[in-house]
Amino acid sequence: MASIQIKTPSAEYTVTLGSGLLRTLRQRIQRALGGGTLPRVFFITSQEIWAKWSDRATESFDGATVLFVPPGERFKRLPTVERLLEELARAGADRDSVIIAFGGGVIGDMAGFIAAIYMRGIRCVQVPTTLLAQVDSSVGGKTGANLAAGKNLVGSFHHPIAVISDVDVLSTLPKQELRAGLQESVKSGIIRDARLFAYLEKNAKAVLRGDTKALAYVVERSVRVKADVVNQDERESGLRMILNFGHTIGHAIEAATNYKQLLHGEAIGWGMIAAVRLAQARGAIAEKDAQRIVKLAHVYGPLPRFTATAEKLVRLSASDKKNRGGARRFILPTGIGTVEIVKDVTEEELLAACEQMLGEVKRARR
């Protein structure tokens, strides 16, 4: 079992990673609350996740209220948030209540956002059940929902009081979801951890077959990357932007395909490739490193084909949250384990990178 500390100016909590953690969920939440009587607990989850794991998650609870969310990015919208808020109120949730976000990234983001705004803020525990959520979205306090204009354009920073990641739940993940989640770990290696990147290269077979030891290593190294960045830059004023490597075009791909053709990690995989092509055009990265990045993104694929135009992707990327004062900001890889934040990417450069990436999409296997 591993414990990783998040220490920011506004919050301090522990990310616990290991096997068999769901059976001790109540005790761990009670410890995070400082002991005493456990207040009212509200799980926000999906029917599918609840059917698989509720017995383990609730066996140490005397009782809990469960609120359900349909699966899928298209439900990460304000109408869903409002419905859940109404259900909380009708069920008697008060300011002492605790929300448990029990699911993947969509559930974690929405449940965290609901905790941030219900009665002006109540406590939340993140219990991620997908690889993507364990390595990335459950850590750092970002919460939110999507608008028609773009992804995560409404939200709040609201840190959980604990993150409890049981790697056992990854055993039931569909292979496609496992592979998509691993793109976020590839990202972590690219931006800040060359050792993790090399591990993913050398141990791809073990990781992809779901080897518990291999996955536990990948999750821990990925979380340590994010924790290190968040501890230095809580609210994305500078350094934390690097965590969005691949996401500018990745989010645009998701929006262009109405969140129906690709999983989030798959879109990020293509977004990373577009960023590599832009870096190559600028001479910012050595050819050998560029080839390693693109190859690894495909190893943890196969990245699916999709239909979009370069013009549409560039237009949709204009609403990216990293942009400031009309300037287009972009995260470019400069090597394995290093990236840079650039502020002068032109529309023409981005268009060319997207066109190159889309050419590769047409040649993809699926």
Catalytic residues: 120, 142, 184, 226, 236, 240, 244, 247, 251, 264
Distance CA 281, CA 297 (A): 19
Q: Is 296 exposed, middle or buried (0-12, 13-18, 19+ CB in 10 A)?
A: buried
Rounded (10°) CA dihedral 74, 109, 262, 285 = 140
Please tell me whether residue 223 adopts helix, strand or coil conformation.
helix
Q: Please give the radius of gyration of the chain, using alpha carbons only, rounded to the nearest integer.
A: 20
Alpha helices in the chain (DSSP H): 25-32, 47-58, 78-90, 105-117, 131-132, 175-192, 194-202, 204-208, 212-232, 247-256, 264-282, 287-299, 310-317, 347-362
Please tell me whether residue 259 adopts helix, strand or coil conformation.
coil
Distance CA 44, CA 122 (A): 14
Q: Is 11 exposed, middle or buried (0-12, 13-18, 19+ CB in 10 A)?
A: middle
105 residue type, one letter: G
State the residue for tokens 């972009």. Answer: 330
The total number of residues written for the chain in this structure: 366
